[in-house]
Amino acid sequence: MSSDSSSSRLKPISAALALQEIIGSVRQLSYMKQHSEILASTLNVKLEMTYASAPVGRLARGQTYELERIERRDPSVGERMLEKSIWKKCGFQAVAAQGHPFFGDVCRFIQTYQMPLQGTRRDKRWGKIDLVGVTGDALPVVIELKREDAKDTLLRMLVEGVAYACAVRKAWNEGGLRAKWAVAMKKHGLHQEQKEILANVPVLLLAPSGFWKRAIGSKGARSNGKVREDAWPPFMKLVHKCSDHGFPIHFLEFKLEHAAKSDASKRLNVSSVHLPVSDDQSPTADTDL
């Protein structure tokens, strides 16, 4: 039977709250179907509320978006260490040397990890984006990362990722992110003219293969952490609606593989997750690259 770390009762999703404020309400795996249905039917309003409440930018003196990371002592928290490792293996210089993009034109390389969003103390519900990548057009990509043993539901990953993508869009359109981003891209020799309005922000839900095996499980069988089969259709409907609003969702798994027998370092292999849904339910843009 699918486990659920939260209460056995359905937690309602308040109509008055934005996406970043309902993350605690969408942790219930047993009610992923109901929560997905509610969010799909109210997504337009939720996105408007999330954009309106998102920080306009890093405005205080000395605040930056940490777009230009430097090598520092490894973090003590496991997920932070994983983020840093992926950034090192898939940053601009590493990808240029390998000749292999992180995930095609959807995300060519990783620009930074733990990108802060808070501008003032009032932005207390906004944390840091796990990883931020760069598209083939040199625009931002939001990456929500989970470890293999993470208990988070796919719905929570999606809600958190889309909330951050809303914040990136606002910081670009109304704050100072666009100018800071242009500077960072020019240092890579990427001189594309930056769009004044950021209409599309891809959201990548990234986790090790073991995480996805547990979430997908075996057809017709119950197992710990498995998404119920009747939850997939409303969840995928929500995924498609996110894409319609400029937030295309990609489900990605990664494995660490030896680059060569003589090379002790491991290369990150990233690929699309094959979800247990019909072809018409699959994200149209989610293909192996």
Q: 99's torsion region: left (phi>0), alpha (psi -120 to 50) or beta?
A: left
- The pLDDT value recorded for residue 66 is 92
Q: What is the pLDDT of residue 261?
A: 47
Please report the pLDDT score of residue 72 as a whole number: 66
b/e code 90-118 from CB counts within 10 Å (16+ = b): bbbebbeeeeebbbeebbbbbbbbbbbbb
In the block, which residue shows the tokens 């890579």?
188
Tokens of 285: 């843009």
What is this structure's pTM?
0.90
Distance CA 27, CA 86 (A): 26
Torsion angles phi and psi, residue 138, rounded to 5: 65, 40
d(Cα 205, Cα 133) in Å, to the nearest integer?
12
123 vs 137: CA distance, rounded Å: 30
Are the C-beta atoms of 148 and 208 separated by less than 8 Å?
yes
Do 227 and 32 form a contact (C-beta atoms < 8 A)?
yes
Strands 203-208 and 249-260: parallel
pLDDT at position 256: 79
Distances, alpha carbon 151 to alpha carbons 3, 23, 39, 157, 265, in Å: 9, 13, 21, 11, 29
Which residues fall within 8 angstroms of residue 280, CB to CB, at 6 or more apart?
A: none
24 vs 9: CA distance, rounded Å? 14
Per-residue pLDDT 10s for the chain (289 aa) are 344 444 578 889 999 999 999 998 999 999 999 999 999 999 999 999 999 999 987 766 677 899 988 766 665 666 788 999 999 999 999 999 989 999 999 999 999 999 998 877 778 789 899 999 999 999 999 999 999 999 999 999 999 999 999 999 999 999 999 999 999 999 999 977 888 999 999 999 999 999 999 999 988 888 899 999 999 999 999 999 999 999 999 999 999 775 554 444 678 999 999 999 876 667 754 433 3
Domain boundaries, the chain: 19-272
| Inter-residue contact 264 to 254 (CB < 8 Å) | no
